[in-house]
Each structure stands twice: as structure tokens, then as C-alpha cells.
Amino acid sequence: MLEKYLLLGIFIAAFSFSLTGAEAEPKAPAKKIIRYEPEKEKHYKLIPLGASSFEAVSPIIKAMMSKDGILTNEDGRKSVLVYDSDEVIRKVSDFLRQIDMNIVNIRIDVDFTGSGSGSDDAIIVRPDYGGKPKRPQPWAVNKKPKNVDINMINRRTTTTSNSSQFVLTKSGSPASIWVGKTMIDPSWLRAAIQRPDIIIVSPGSITRIDSPDTDIKWADVGASLEVLPTYYEDGTIEVELYPSVSCLDGKGRKRSVKVQQLSTKVRVKSGQRIFIGGLGSGKKEMYTKLFGPDFFSRKDGVDVTNIYLTATAVNSGGGIISSSRPGK
């Protein structure tokens, strides 16, 4: 009986040992690798747009930028302001430079064609008192003239003038040119009052009050031209134009600076010459004298200035771009 229990104990111990040995060894925990990448440094960069427009390129540029990048349109500088990493800024710069490789320059020619007509009618009365020629005498004299010469004058005059300006600039970039001189405005000079220094003398003291400084008014006399051309892929050119012509007008106390200016926006084909406007002026003078040779005088004058514009697209090599095949 004892032997049976002994054999049963040995069997249970062996069975327990076999179960323990059959258990799988525990697996080691999986390794997790955490990589820390520092945020790329960002800064601002102003990049020229060239001949491209912000509306056309902004969707493409935004797709290149990081989530917290900033894109701003600097319309006055024809550029974009990018806030991002160096890598993104380099991509944006390369992209804008690539699409702007075929630079289009615009030559703007403005022709001013002036014409004027005038008439001069006068009645000149010269009494002859005999003897040596003397200064013209009034009618109210005791000595009667031997004879009286009455001359009627009728003159017609026609004048023409031509002046041209041209300026070359890149599409989308403003440009200006001015030819002339700067001088003191004659109308200001006529009206200016020079005030002397004031000196007050009292017993025991002298007070001096200096005259106030005179602010001189200057005037530009010449021709100026400001343009803003934009070239389109269909071969047309849109031009914002601000021509101005100034000159001295009048004589003596009536002398002043006369300014003729015009502002307009047109869209034309490359090389097309068009009429964009005109400027006109007229003046009439008439006076009658009871005494002296100029008994009656009348002067009429009309001046007209016509302005013509020619916009021509020119590539970087100096060749003219055909409007039928833009960019070729």
C-alpha cells in the first residue's frame, strides 16, 4: 500500500516538472525609438515676382510652404514676402525665377503733335505834323497834322510742333522720365513780397527783428512721362499713362508756367500706334486806344496738342515680340 502511494507521488512530481519545462520563455518588451527633430529656423525673405502676378502664383507657392508659413503680397514692390525655412524659400525663389526666364520689356513711345493758329487785326493811325519824325502826338494838340496815315493790318499765323518721349521698362514695373529744368515760378516771383528787417531804436537799447524767411516756389519746366505697362500672353499690352508738358507762357507781368497733363489707361496690341487724347487752349485780347498809333487791336489764338501712344513688347535680347506669337 505504501509502495502505491510512493509511485503516485513520483508520477505527480514528474508530470508537474514536464508542464513547467514545457512553458514558453517570456518575450522581451519591444523597443520604441523616439526621434527628436528640432524645428527648422524660419525668417523673412522678399522675392521679386518679375512679370508674374500674385494671383497666378500664390496657390502654387502656398502648396510649397509649411503649415505655419506666411505669404504676403508686396504690391508696391512687385514682390512677395515669404516667412518660412531656408529650404522653402529656396524652392519659391527657384520657381519664380524659372517662370520668369523669358523677361518681357515694354517700350513706350509718346508723341506730342501740336498745332496752333492765330489772327492779328489792328488799325494803326499815324498823324504827320511835318519836319523830322517825332514821337506820336495825341489828337488834342493845337498844331494840325498835314496828313494822317491809317493802316489796317490783318495777319494769320499757323504753327506746328512735335516732341517725342520714350521709356523702356519691364512688364509690371513702373517707370518715369523727365526732361527740362527747374526754375523759380515767375507767377510766384511777381506776387512775392520782400519784407525788410525791422530795427527798433530806444534809449539805451536797439532791437532788431529779422525778416521772415521766404519760401521760394520752384517750378519744373519741361516734359515728364510716367508709365506702368503690363504684358499679357495674348500679345496685348495694358498701359497706365501719365504724360505732362509744362512751358513758360505769356510775357512781362503775365508770364507764368503753363502745364498740360493727361492720365489714361489703354490696352493695345504690341507695336500699335493709337491716339489717346488732346489738350487745347485759346486766348483772345482786344483793346482800343483813343490816343496813340494803336487805335484798335485784336488778337486771337488757339493751340491744340494731340498725344499718340505706341507700346512695343521687346524680349531680353532686344528683339520685338510679335503680337501673334507672344513670347516667341
Residue 264 and residue 178 in one domain: yes
User: What's the number of CA atoms in the CB half-sphere (13 Å) around residue 5?
Assistant: 2
77 and 173 assigned to the same domain: no
The pLDDT profile of the chain, 328 residues, written as one tens digit per residue, is 545 554 555 555 554 545 444 455 566 666 677 766 667 788 899 998 876 778 888 899 999 998 889 999 988 888 899 999 999 999 999 888 877 656 688 888 888 787 777 777 776 767 666 655 555 555 445 556 566 676 777 777 777 778 787 888 888 888 887 766 776 766 666 665 566 667 777 777 777 777 666 666 777 777 777 888 888 878 889 988 887 777 666 665 656 666 666 677 888 888 889 887 766 666 666 555 544 555 556 666 667 778 788 989 887 656 677 655 444 4
Give the Cα-Cα-Cα angle 226, 232, 233 (nearest 5 degrees).
155
Cell output for 266:
489703354
Pair 164, 299 in one domain? yes
Same domain, yes or no, for 58 and 198?
no
**Grid coordinates standing for 82?**
515669404
Alpha-carbon gap, residue 276 to 110, rounded angstroms: 10
164 and 192 assigned to the same domain: yes
H-helix or E-strand spanning residue 228: strand 218-231
Query: Which amino acid makes up residue 186?
Result: P
Please name every residue paired with 158 in a beta bridge, in sequence order, or none if there are none.
117
Q: What is the pTM of this model?
A: 0.44
Question: Which phi and psi (to 5°) does residue 251 adopt?
Answer: -135, 155
Q: Are residues 92 and 111 in the same domain?
A: no
Q: Does 193 reside within a domain? A: yes
Give residue 282's pLDDT.
64
CA distance readout (Å), 245 to 76, 118, 137, 220: 26, 21, 45, 10
Calpha distance 75→52 (Å, rounded): 12
**What is the domain extent for residue 242?**
106-314
Q: Which backbone phi and psi does 179 adopt, to 5 degrees?
A: -130, 125
Which amino acid would we find at residue 108?
I
Residue at 251 is within a domain: yes
pLDDT at residue 12, rounded to an integer: 54
Inside any domain, residue 187: yes
Task: Report H helices in 45-85.
Answer: 54-64
pLDDT of residue 182: 73
The predicted pLDDT at position 44 comes to 92
Q: What is the pLDDT of residue 90?
A: 92
Do residues 86 and 185 both lie within one domain? no
Instruction: Find the CATH number of the domain harbouring 91.
Output: 3.30.1370.120
- Structure confidence at residue 83 (pLDDT): 93
Say what the pLDDT of residue 19 is: 47
Residue 132 lies in a domain: yes
Q: Do 52 and 96 contact (CB within 8 A), yes or no?
A: yes
Edge-to-edge strand ranges of the sheet holding 273-288: 147-170, 104-128, 294-315, 273-288
* Stated length of the chain: 328
Residues 163 and 165: their CA atoms lie apart, in Å, by 7
**28 within a domain of the structure (yes/no):** no
Cell numbers standing for residue 140 = 488834342
Q: Beta partners for 261?
A: 244
Same-domain status, 130 and 227:
yes
Count how many domains the chain has: 2
